Amino acid sequence: MSDPLLSAKGVHKTYLLGKRPLKVLRGVDLELQKGDFVALRGASGAGKSTLLHLLGGLDTPNQGEIRLAGRNLASLSRRELTRLRNREVGFIFQAYYLLPELDALENVCLPARMARTPPERAEARGRELLERVGLKERVEHKPYELSGGEQQRVAIARALINNPDLILADEPTGNLDSHTGQDIIELLCALRQEKQTTLVMATHDANLAARAPRVLELVDGEMKRET
Using CA atoms, how far apart are residues 94 and 170, in angstroms rounded to an integer? 6
Could you tell me how far CA 133 lies from the centroid of its own chain?
17
Residue 126: is its pLDDT beyond 90? yes
Across the chain, mean pLDDT equals: 92
Residue 197 has a pLDDT of 93
Is 76 or 180 the better-scoring residue by pLDDT? 76
Q: How confident is the model at residue 227 (pLDDT cuts 50, 70, 90)?
A: low
Q: What is the pTM of this model?
A: 0.93
Band (pLDDT 50/70/90 cuts) for residue 1 is: low
Domain boundaries, the chain: 6-98+143-226
Q: How far apart are CA 53 and CA 59, in angstroms?
A: 6
In this prediction, residue 123 carries a pLDDT of: 97
Q: What is the 3-state secondary structure (H, E, C) of 119-168?
A: HHHHHHHHHHHHHHCCCHHHCCCCHHHCCHHHHHHHHHHHHHCCCCCEEE
* Chain segment 42-91, per-residue pLDDT in tens: 888 889 999 999 999 999 999 999 999 889 999 999 999 999 999 999 99
**What single string gives the DSSP state of each residue in the chain?**
-PPPSEEEEEEEEEEEETTEEEEEEEEEEEEE-TT-EEEEE--TTSSHHHHHHHHTTSS--SEEEEEETTEEGGGS-HHHHHHHHHHHEEEEETT----TTS-HHHHHHHHHHHTT--HHHHHHHHHHHHHHTT-GGGTT--GGGS-HHHHHHHHHHHHHTT--SEEEEESTTTTS-HHHHHHHHHHHHHHHHHHT-EEEEE-S-HHHHTTSSEEEEEETTEEEEE-
> What is the topology classification, in CATH, of domain 6-98+143-226?
Rossmann fold (3.40.50)
Instruction: Flag the least confident range among 31-35, 99-103, 205-209.
Output: 205-209
The reported pLDDT for the residue numbered 71 is 92
What confidence score (pLDDT) does residue 136 get? 94
